[in-house]
Amino acid sequence: MSNLPAVKSLSLPGVLLISPVRHVDARGFFSESYNESTFHAVGVTNRFVQDNHSLSRQQGTVRGLHFQIPPYAQAKLVRVLRGAIFDVAVDIRSGSATFGKSASALLSAENGDQLFVPAGFAHGYCTLEPDTEVLYKVDAAYLRDCERGLLWNDHELGISWPEMADPSTLLERDQNWQPLRSLPVYF
């Protein structure tokens, strides 16, 4: 039996929906959420250096759209431990054929799916259930001086956020990020 996760390329190059194999029995399930060799086999060769874990108490909580600039640009591997999210990646690579385009996926504790977001993409999500916990791996450490963001509801991005997305849940900095047309070239 293969332990390779199922991998689906989304509408942006490098953004992958990864479904690890779940071994289900009467007790529940067992799954390798990350295994370096199996992820390398499906094309995710990043060396992850940090795990981040967030809890959002309120349904409709919006986090993002975040990214880090070089030399600390981050790729992320995102999964949900409890609850569910509408997860989004936006291509912010200057000159890319998909610059400004987004891809999204529903990630939940129930489906076990993960989203791989390469460096050069902004990332954000909206919680679809209360008390949602998200865990994501990054391949570069957090550095405040390299942290940037993109306005989550910029109409030019064309993101169809869930109706429950609540702008009042945003941190002040996330409310004030610039729109895509004002974004400097970072990538």
Catalytic positions: 66, 136
Contact 124, 64 (CB under 8 A): yes
Report whether the peptide linkage leading into residue 65 is cis, meaning its omega lies within 30 degrees of zero.
Answer: yes
Beta bridge partners of 102: 90
- 156 vs 52, 73, 150, CA distance in Å? 29, 23, 11
Q: What region, left, alpha or beta, does residue 27 occupy, with left being phi > 0 and alpha being psi -120 to 50 degrees?
A: alpha
- 58 vs 127, 129, 131, CA distance in Å? 8, 7, 6
How many CB atoms lie under 10 A from the CB of residue 108? 17
Rounded-to-integer distance, Cα 80 and Cα 167, Å: 21
What's at 93, amino acid-wise?
A: R
